[in-house]
Structure 1
Amino acid sequence: MVESLFLTDLVLAFLLAVTGVLLGRRAGRHQMTPGASAVLRRFLYATTAVVAARVVVAVMLLVAGGWEPAAHRFLLGLPVVALPLAWTWLRPHPIAGHVTAMGALTSFYVLYVPPGPQDMAIAVLAAITVLGMTGAASLLLGIWRSGNGRLRRMPWLSGVAVLAVAASVGALFMAAQPGPDVHASVRDWGGGAEPAPAVAAPQAAGGHHGGAAPVARPVAADPAAARTRSVDELTGPRDREPDVRFTLTAAKGVVRLASGKQVEALTFNGTSPGPELRVRHGELVEVTLINRDVAEGVTLHWHGIDVANAEDGVPGVTQNAGRPGKKHVYRFVPDRAGTYWYHTHRDANRSIERGLFGALIVEGDDTEAGFIRNVFTHQWPGEIAAFGTADVPEGVAVAPDTPVTLRLINSSKEPHRLMLGGTPYKVTALDGNPINRPGDLKPGTDLLLAAGGRYDVSFTMPAGPVTLRLDTAEAPNPVALTLSSDGKAAPAELTPGELFDRIGYGKPDVPVDSAPYQRDFQLVLDNGLGFSGGAFTWSNTINGRLWPAVPTLMVREGDKVRMVITSRGIGDHPMHLHGHRVRVLSRNGTPVTGSAWWADTINVAPGESYEITFTANNPGIWMDHCHDFDHAEAGMVMHLAYEGVTSPYHGDGH
């Protein structure tokens, strides 16, 4: 519902701009040829109707999504046109008409080019200035037009409006350019702590997701600041032999799907998904990555594992991408058991889709038993949906009374709805984090799996079949996994049911730390016009900006950090912070009441607002980005950087 309200408001704002232009044109004619005020009044009806409709939509947004998604409409977008409109109705004069027309255009602008929370005060001041200057110009123009002459009757205010639009577009272009300094402070992002040091702006490097890479060089605010450390110093253990070694060779190849279709793919060790890497928590893991012939370059990112920064696999930030014929060695110690995955972070928008990903399973102290299956929900090139490589229904034999664990991993760009029927089941873990005392979910309860996210589900195999379906698949060959005693049962016909809600699931275990926060950030995810990759585009923004214009969030080691992430735009945004496990405290103002909600990827849907917290205990320069790779590639990327940490990777040659 919230997404449809956002779309409706975009259409209404466009109509408002049109009626505003017509109103301003009529006000100008009325100024040049004075007549009865009733003539101007007739042109207010359409504008008033559109403003009234936008007020209704804003109230519905307030009811459906709370204050955060609707705030900028009530604080700026509606007052900037509603107040001049009321003035025009009370006194239908050309000056009031001109101010109302400019208010309509300003209201359109702040919705299509939304300001971030850090820019709201400036935006309000700018709007007041624009309206005041419009009124003054209209007054002076009216006095001048009291005389005769063709020059006096030209559409001067229209020319001023055109210049204002050109200046706004120019300002957007300049704001999108990486400059020598981006002063990223806690205050920039709605925090109340002292400012962090300035950070050198990211320089173009073509690193993660085909974008550029950051060069974070904090300037010490005081002489007592900790010594500067390079990302290269923040490695996994190098002083002892690893407990387990793997080699992954990235290469071009062909993947044959279960339907017989062949996909021109990229593979690890000749397969996709790549080999399962199974280790134990606390072991020192060494993985050697070899790039045989992937021209784009390859890295390995250990999604959900809080590795040391140098092992994070982000080109242009923690390393250069491995070129054909090159190798790179990663070392890390996973400190938590659970379901994780690995994937390249170079040109991820295309390379993961083509196959450069695999499962990383970290075993704990408990011995797993029964039927265990990793299930990747994946979209292959050509929008071919599959469970791994199974793009047609698959049957598997599982004896009744067998414990079953399905490790669900979304390696696609978008969230997937999974339908599970035939048995009650439990969600035992989210993003590798165990859920305390999970309860039974009735058959037909659906799971919304965030892009990059994971669910572990478990049940005891019943006598009848159990079907897992992927909602993105279409007939006649919907993607389904059916477990039955002989493996020959047909998949059940499932329809979308009630969605699983994590907020109250399980029993409370770890109390929330009540200590004060040292850093408090506000992130607003939005849609708007701007420049990305040198092109003027409609894109997804963070605090009104696109990378590389999104300032870095600065922290000190040991800081307790709070973030409020709000989506007031269209589309889901699975936000993924590297190197840190976060805890969700509330959603849309409702506190988490079940088991502590730990995650590494949070799907922020339209109108949703999440309050999360984490401890800054892993020094480095970390990506924080939308895991919808289309969004990330277009600029929905920022970074979290620790004071005193620098990166030498200004680029990797592309």
Structure 2
Amino acid sequence: MTTTALLLLQSLAGIAGAGLWLAAGFSAGSPAARPSRRERMTVLALAAGGTVALAAAAAMTIVLAGHGWWFAGEKVTVGLPLTLVGLVASGAGIVWWLRGGRVLLARTLMLGGAYAMIAAVLATWLVGYPPQPVATAVLAAAAALATGLTWALLGQRGRRVAAGFAGLLAVLLVGGAGWSWLSDTAAPTIAASGLHLHGASVPTGGAPAVPVTALRTPDDAPGELHAVELTAARHLVTLSSSERVEAWGFGGDGVAGPELRVTEGELVEVSLVNRDIDDGVTLHWHGYDVPNGEDGVAGVTQDAVAPGERFTYRFSADEPGTYWYHTHQAASEGVRRGLYGMLVVEPEGGVAESLDLALPVHRLGGETVIGATDGLQSFTAEEGESVRLRVVNTEQTPIRVTLAGAPFRVAAVDGRDLAGGEAVEHRSVRLGAGARADLVFTMPAEAVRFETDLSAASVVVIAPPGVETDTGEDARLPREVIEVPELDLLAYGDGARPELGPFTAEAELVLDRLPRFVGGAPGYAYAVNGAVFPHIAPIEVREGDVVKITIANRGFDMHPMHVHGHHVLVLSRDGVAATGAPLWLDTVDVRPGEVWELALVADNPGIWMDHCHDLSHAAAGMMMTLAYEGVTTAFEHDAHGNRPE
């Protein structure tokens, strides 16, 4: 059984157990004499069912602990003690109730025990992992006060006593919410404090602080200048259906911004001008490890570029591969509306393929856009020529892509080559939000179709000159992306894992969904280690550290976790070691219940965002930083209109 199924079943069993015990307490009534046989049988049946359900929940908790303490921590340290207290109290109450004596105390204990069991269930959804002491105390106190209120009502102790318990309970709940709100107003934890380093890496102290603005590419950096100006503006896009939809973009008539195709060794200089995007814009070079000051994160490495303003980015093109750029200011809306484009760094000697297409996949106006437009797009390549498709998922949810009509190999993922991968057929490649894959194939005599699981109508067909590009229901090649199995990239290709040296720091990221305040507003937030941005403790490193990062997803959502300025080497997934070619990713798509182990080499000083690239999740709290000791920022995440997601 999967971890996700266990998490769901454990919660359902806990809810059922607490609910049955609560029903037993209410079914007991308040007889003056011994209860009737029918009443006894009803209450005992409910209690027995509740006990069995709670025993099942406890057993599944033990199994979950075997999958990883992240999945069971608060269930063991908070939930089980509350459940045991509840069972003891309710059990004692049933015994007294069956004997017909001390009826008030008996019913109070039965219902109070059920409240403790309910608190145990709520611990998973309110306390989270790691267990939060204040939230735990509020839950336990709420169960105790609810028990007192029940005693006052059942015993008819008068309005003043009942109102006293009700008032204390209300004060407790309001106070708990107030404490959570005050926590959200506390000072942000974005830069390194020097207090969270692990292992052999220890702070040296005394070194002068380095601001992120000092970590930029010098004006006189070597390389032939490749200068570009991008203008962020609102514009209308005409879809293949002739429908015109409003989009935001970085120039051009299509959805995506201009394709920036540069050559290894060049010095790239991009001037960003904001014409009329009211929320402001930036440029983030997704997957490209630029110096920190060029990273384009509003509120961390710069302020958002307001309408009428300009900002210039500069970096050396020294990492050939497939990348993309997008705004990192209010990106959950900006990217969705079209503030993105492709960045391709070609090797100094040129690309080996005769046809090289950059294909960002996006949805706009209900249509799937591949590259420049939606609908059918056709290209030609001579039979026997090599073709490269650079595919980018610019959406906020995973997509699956495939080629129908020719074997293909995955030549690169997230801008890094994959060695030794054999050509495959009838397989799909899953791309999490923000991820990229280069698909390479040799042109056969017949047409080849690139397709995604987002749309049957939006496809790219490549065919030799004069060959019909058949599509539709009568096409020679039926649509197959939905049917074919996924290619496991952790077992694809071959090659020895690079020797990175011993780990000098470690970090755990436990992904969850919890009620929290985000930006001063309550919500069902996306959390890391029980906290939300900007209060998630950073991964603190020193330059030269080799960091082992463990990511565990406790929730029921997929989280494509993207670290800026670095790539991570995949070590394992769910305890199974990666066996294929070394897989270096900048976006790790962590599905519900999964545990990934990664290695990161801290070789690019700065304060770097590390966040979920489902940007709605990032906006709802799932953002943190990878912070180098001694690096500071004067930019504020909530000033100058900055919204760093």
User: Are positions 1:252 and 2:255 aligned together?
Assistant: no
Change (3 A) 1:523 1:171: same
- The offset of 1:326, in angstroms, is 1.6
TM-score when scaled to structure 2?
Answer: 0.85
Match of 2:50 in 1: 47
Q: Distance in 1 between matches of 2:343 and 2:303?
A: 23
User: Conserved in 2, the CA contact under 8 Å of 1:435 and 1:595?
Assistant: yes
Change (3 A) 1:7 1:418: farther
SS at match of 1:479: strand
User: Conserved in 2, the CA contact under 8 Å of 1:114 and 1:526?
Assistant: no
Change (3 A) 1:70 1:446: same
- The offset of 1:23, in angstroms, is 5.2
CA deviation profile, 1:143-170 (whole Å, cap 9, x unmatched): x999995469959877766555444333
Match of 1:523 in 2: 509
Q: Distance in 2 between matches of 1:644 and 1:231?
A: 10
Paired residue for 1:597, among 560, 583, 587? 583
Q: Distance in 1 between matches of 2:160 and 2:298?
A: 60
Q: CA RMSD in A?
A: 3.6
Paired residue for 1:484, among 463, 466, 479? 463
Q: Which moves more between the two structures, 255-264 or 230-239?
A: 255-264
User: Conserved in 1, the CA contact under 8 Å of 2:257 and 2:342?
Assistant: yes
Match of 1:432 in 2: 415
Change (3 A) 1:263 1:390: same
Supply the AA of the counterpart residue of 1:410: N
- The offset of 1:321, in angstroms, is 1.4
- The offset of 1:307, in angstroms, is 0.8
SS at match of 2:374: coil
User: Are positions 1:451 and 2:453 aligned together?
Assistant: no
Q: Distance in 1 between matches of 2:200 and 2:24?
A: 47
- The offset of 1:468, in angstroms, is 2.0
Q: Distance in 2 between matches of 1:395 and 1:407?
A: 16
Match of 1:100 in 2: 113
User: Are positions 1:587 and 2:573 aligned together?
Assistant: yes
Q: Distance in 1 between matches of 2:177 and 2:275?
A: 45
Match of 1:621 in 2: 607
CA deviation profile, 1:179-217 (whole Å, cap 9, x unmatched): 3779976887xx744998xxxxxxxxxxxxxxxxxxxxx
> Which residues in structure 2 correspond to 1:278-357 (within 5 Å)?
278-357=261-340
Supply the AA of the counterpart residue of 2:494: K
User: Conserved in 2, the CA contact under 8 Å of 1:423 and 1:462?
Assistant: yes
Q: Distance in 2 between matches of 1:236 and 1:151?
A: 72
- The offset of 1:471, in angstroms, is 0.9
- The offset of 1:609, in angstroms, is 0.8
SS at match of 2:513: strand
Change (3 A) 1:176 1:8: farther
> Which residues in structure 2 correspond to 1:178-577 (within 5 Å)?
178-179=186-187, 192-193=198-199, 224-240=205-221, 243=224, 244-271=226-253, 272-368=255-351, 369-380=353-364, 382-441=365-424, 443-473=425-455, 478-485=457-464, 486-490=467-471, 492-494=478-480, 495-517=482-504, 519-577=505-563
Q: Distance in 2 between matches of 1:597 and 1:578?
A: 17
- The offset of 1:599, in angstroms, is 0.8
Percentage identity across aligned positions? Answer: 32
Change (3 A) 1:306 1:533: same
SS at match of 1:248: strand
Supply the AA of the counterpart residue of 2:568: V
Q: Distance in 1 between matches of 2:79 and 2:235?
A: 55
Change (3 A) 1:642 1:542: same
CA deviation profile, 1:14-46 (whole Å, cap 9, x unmatched): 55564455456568x76x968569586454245
CA deviation profile, 1:571-619 (whole Å, cap 9, x unmatched): 1111111111111111111111111110111011101111112122211
Change (3 A) 1:184 1:148: same
CA deviation profile, 1:115-163 (whole Å, cap 9, x unmatched): 233x46x48974996599679x87x998x99999546995987776655
Q: Which moves more between the two structures, 283-292 or 232-241?
A: 232-241
- The offset of 1:469, in angstroms, is 1.7
SS at match of 1:109: helix
Q: Distance in 1 between matches of 2:135 and 2:179?
A: 17
SS at match of 1:275: coil
CA deviation profile, 1:378-409 (whole Å, cap 9, x unmatched): 121x4322213432233333332121111110
Change (3 A) 1:370 1:90: same
SS at match of 1:407: strand
- The offset of 1:444, in angstroms, is 1.7
Change (3 A) 1:648 1:134: closer
Q: Distance in 1 between matches of 2:190 and 2:296?
A: 24
Supply the AA of the counterpart residue of 2:120: S
SS at match of 2:457: coil
Q: Which moves more between the two structures, 34-43 or 301-310?
A: 34-43
Q: Distance in 2 between matches of 1:632 and 1:613?
A: 23
- The offset of 1:68, in angstroms, is 4.9
CA deviation profile, 1:617-649 (whole Å, cap 9, x unmatched): 211111111111111111111112222222122
Structure 1 residues not aligned, in runs of 5+: 197-220
Change (3 A) 1:163 1:293: closer
TM-score when scaled to structure 1?
Answer: 0.84
User: Conserved in 2, the CA contact under 8 Å of 1:470 and 1:478?
Assistant: no
Q: Distance in 1 between matches of 2:567 and 2:397?
A: 21
Q: Distance in 2 between matches of 1:56 and 1:261?
A: 56
CA deviation profile, 1:215-258 (whole Å, cap 9, x unmatched): xxxxxx77x42101111111112224752211112221111223
Q: Which moves more between the two structures, 551-560 or 617-626?
A: 551-560
SS at match of 1:108: helix
Q: Distance in 2 between matches of 1:482 and 1:630?
A: 33
Q: Which moves more between the two structures, 240-249 or 541-550?
A: 240-249
Match of 1:203 in 2: none
SS at match of 2:110: helix
CA deviation profile, 1:502-552 (whole Å, cap 9, x unmatched): 1111112343434132x2111100112122233322221111112122223
Change (3 A) 1:4 1:398: farther
Structure 2 residues not aligned, in runs of 5+: 96-105
Q: Distance in 1 between matches of 2:116 and 2:195?
A: 29
Q: Distance in 1 between matches of 2:568 and 2:311?
A: 29
CA deviation profile, 1:411-467 (whole Å, cap 9, x unmatched): 1111111133222211111100101111222x2211111111100111111223322
Supply the AA of the counterpart residue of 2:460: L
Change (3 A) 1:483 1:620: same
Change (3 A) 1:15 1:5: same
Match of 2:103 in 1: none
Supply the AA of the counterpart residue of 1:177: T
Supply the AA of the counterpart residue of 1:450: G
Q: Distance in 2 between matches of 1:460 and 1:322?
A: 44
Q: Distance in 1 between matches of 2:65 and 2:20?
A: 26
- The offset of 1:342, in angstroms, is 0.8
Q: Distance in 2 between matches of 1:234 and 1:529?
A: 37
Match of 1:212 in 2: none
Change (3 A) 1:128 1:451: closer
User: Conserved in 2, the CA contact under 8 Å of 1:377 and 1:386?
Assistant: yes
